[in-house]
Amino acid sequence: MRKKDIQFEAPRRFENCIKIRVLLNSSCIGYANLIRSNNTATLADIYMTNHSKTVLKLFKTYQNFRNQGIGTQLLKYIFSYCKSQGITMIEGVAKGDLEKLIPWYKKHGFTIGIENQIYQKIYATKHLKNQGKKT
């Protein structure tokens, strides 16, 4: 698999809720769900699958699409897409393997905040810089 084989599919307009799909050879191998509120997008979910395919109708083979940089490509696409839609901030709550997720979000420019309630919430926020043309 080459990075150029990966494609992203997103709606033309970001109105309320959208799903951005990650495609490899026309098969969906991951997605991101986003919710819009004014100029803020909430990254509700980002997921890369363990895709299976049937071989000879007897066996299933699994290809792991995690830890190959595809999530990073998706996140960069999300930044670009959101900027094109007038979004100035992306936020979300990190869930899962926080030892891996927190450094990953920080590496991509998110600010991390922690809120202790019944369970610990890890907030990730990123301000998108407006990269207009210089005059």
From the candidate CATH numbers 3.10.290.10, 3.30.420.40, 3.40.50.300, 3.40.630.30, the one assigned to the domain spanning 3-127: 3.40.630.30
Q: Is 8 helix (H, G, I), strand (E, B) or coil?
A: strand
- The model's pTM: 0.78
Query: Which amino acid would we find at residue 76?
Result: K
- Strands (DSSP E) found in 1-135: 6-9, 17-24, 27-37, 40-48, 50-55, 59-64, 89-94, 111-116, 120-127
Measured from the Cβ of residue 122, the count of other Cβ atoms closer than 10 Å reads 17
Question: Contact at 8 Å (CB) between 41 and 86?
Answer: no
Query: pLDDT by residue (tens digit) across 48-89?
Result: 876 545 444 444 444 566 677 888 899 999 999 999 999 999
Tokens of 120: 């610990």
Domain spans, the chain:
3-127
Residue 66 has a pLDDT of: 67
- Alpha-carbon distance of 20 to 105, in angstroms, equals 18
Distance of alpha carbon 46 from alpha carbon 100, whole angstroms: 14
What are 86-103's pLDDT values in tens digits? Answer: 999 999 888 878 888 888
Look-up of token digits 């150029």: 4
Q: How far is CA 96 from the centre of its chain?
A: 14
pLDDT of 57? 44
Residue 24 pLDDT class (50, 70, 90 cuts)? confident
